[in-house]
Amino acid sequence: MTASTETVDALVERIMQRAEGLDEGYRRVGLLVSAAQAVTESLELTTRLQRIVGVARELVGARYGALGVLASDGGLERFLHSGFTDEQVQQLGAPPTGRGILGAVITEGRSIRMEHLSRDPRSVGFPPHHPPMDSFLGVPIHVEGTVFGNLYLTEHSEGPFDDIDEEIIAALAAMAGTAIANSRLYEQSQDDRRWLAASERLTQRLLSGLIGPDDLEDITAAVRELTGDDDTRVTETADGELVISTPSNGHPQTEAQRETIRRFGRSVAIARELARARIDEQRVALTDERDRIARDLHDHVIQSLFAVGLSLQSVVGDPASPTGARIATQVDAIDSTIRQIRQAIYRLSTPPSAGTYSLRARINTLVRETLEGESLDSRLEFSGPVDTLVDLGLGDEVCAVMREAISNVVRHAHATLVEASVAVRGAQVVVIVRDDGIGMPDTDRRSGLANLAARARERGGDFTLDPVHPHGTDVRWSVPWESR
């Protein structure tokens, strides 16, 4: 036989001993059983607790009984009573707030039994129309070791309450604690569903782009709606985790409640990262599409216009004649159109975020300005995470190398085409400038090229200058992109 069974057996035996006759004993035991059944039969907490208060008053012969349940702010969440008439309830007005002798049962966390309630200095706060009360028995209600309320009775029919009364009421308080604990579990399951549903809604809005991944306002609003407290704050750490801070008034949150909030924070943080990744993918896709359009404009449209212009120039004949003058005007118009298309190509190659620092944008501007007014066809390409992995200092070096290499082509190569590229490949940043000109002249004046070689050596990289078959020059400059 377990200890709990022995306790119940002893309790039943005492109830039977105190009863006036066997039938009265059976009736009282039946009341105890009905109170125990009420704890498990209904999910509605108020109904269960009201049954326990009524049974408690009958079992010990008290005129009045009441039960209070603490709220999270320290006040009373529920206050149930038995033995009061409707007229008395109306005259009493608002329920007690858990102070005085009722508060002492909660704060001290132990049973209090008094023969004369009015003689105790803690007996304060009674409203004007409160019925007279003398004998008193109050028992705390524990839930997982924490006091969550009290069950108390007054005005024993035979004088003061005794230890048997206290044992009976303690058993009923334990039943009330079980009812409250079960209700808390049910409420926690409902809270879990609410937090999960809110997490799913936020995830959908984040991934659909309705809210930005860096915007905490909508997330904070959703959390405050869940907690019912406008003082709840949502912050972000350095590694992207969400921290949800709730006010620390009343009794503390349970571990289950804290874990629910932590799961919500982890779920929304993952959704924010996925939203950021999707935005990055969209930016890359947009940049790739803009690059494709730029290449098509360069490879097809410009080349076609250039060919048309050459064909027209070949049939000009006498430019002073009316027909020759008209053809020359059209050729000039074609050249102007080619220049406009080139400017559009450079603008297309500029990433959408060029308002902030962008190496792509800097190099596009540099190449456009260097080749402005030159009758030199050009192609500029990027590959790899140029804007994200190349810092400002190395970007300055890359721009200097690109400017020097293209300027050499303009000054010395006599080329018709220059192709330039910047790529991040593995741990290297590679700059290539290739032309179809006459190659480097035999001269010792190569200070610019010497500077390119020196820049590469200083960063632990390489510089090469090679001829291209059948004619032209290939300049390659590569350095590690990691900080040293």
> pLDDT tens digit string along 385-412?
787 778 878 888 999 899 999 988 988 8
What pLDDT is attached to residue 168? 82
The SS3 assignment for 477 reads strand
Name the CATH superfamily, with its identifier, for domain 3-187.
Answer: GAF domain (3.30.450.40)
- Cis bond leading into 470, ω under 30°? yes
Name the residue ranges covered by the structural domains of the chain: 3-187, 192-277, 370-484
Residues 6+ apart with CB under 8 A from 192: 260
Enumerate residues 6+ apart whose C-beta is below 8 A from 418. 371, 376, 377, 378, 379, 406, 409, 433, 434, 435
Tokens for 164, please give them.
């048997």
At 356 the pLDDT is: 45
Q: Which H or E element spans position 480?
A: strand 473-480
pLDDT at 426: 77
Per-position pLDDT tens, the chain of length 484 = 333 454 566 677 777 777 777 777 777 777 777 777 666 666 678 888 888 888 888 888 888 888 888 776 666 778 888 888 777 777 676 666 656 666 677 777 788 888 887 776 666 556 566 777 788 888 888 877 778 788 888 888 788 888 888 888 888 888 888 888 887 788 788 888 998 999 999 888 888 877 778 778 888 888 888 888 788 888 878 877 888 887 655 455 667 888 888 899 888 888 888 888 877 777 677 667 767 777 777 666 777 777 777 777 777 666 677 777 787 777 777 777 777 777 666 666 655 544 445 788 889 888 888 888 888 888 888 887 787 778 878 888 999 899 999 988 988 888 999 999 999 887 899 999 999 998 866 654 456 788 889 889 999 999 999 999 888 999 999 999 764 3
Determine the pLDDT at residue 249: 54
Q: How many CB atoms lie within 10 A of CB 207?
A: 15
The CA distance from 283 to 249, in Å, is 46
* Contact criterion met (CB below 8 Å) for 67 and 96: no
Q: Distance (Å, rounded) from C-alpha 97 to C-alpha 43?
A: 26
Q: DSSP readout, 256-271?
A: HHHHHHHHHHHHHHHH
Q: Do 124 and 136 form a contact (C-beta atoms < 8 A)? A: no
> Does the predicted model carry a pTM greater than 0.75?
no
pLDDT at 236: 79
Q: CA–CA separation, 454 vs 446, rounded Å?
A: 12
Superfamily of domain covering 370-484:
Histidine kinase-like ATPase, C-terminal domain (3.30.565.10)
pLDDT at position 212: 77
The pLDDT value recorded for residue 353 is 47
Q: Is 466 exposed, middle or buried (0-12, 13-18, 19+ CB in 10 A)?
A: exposed
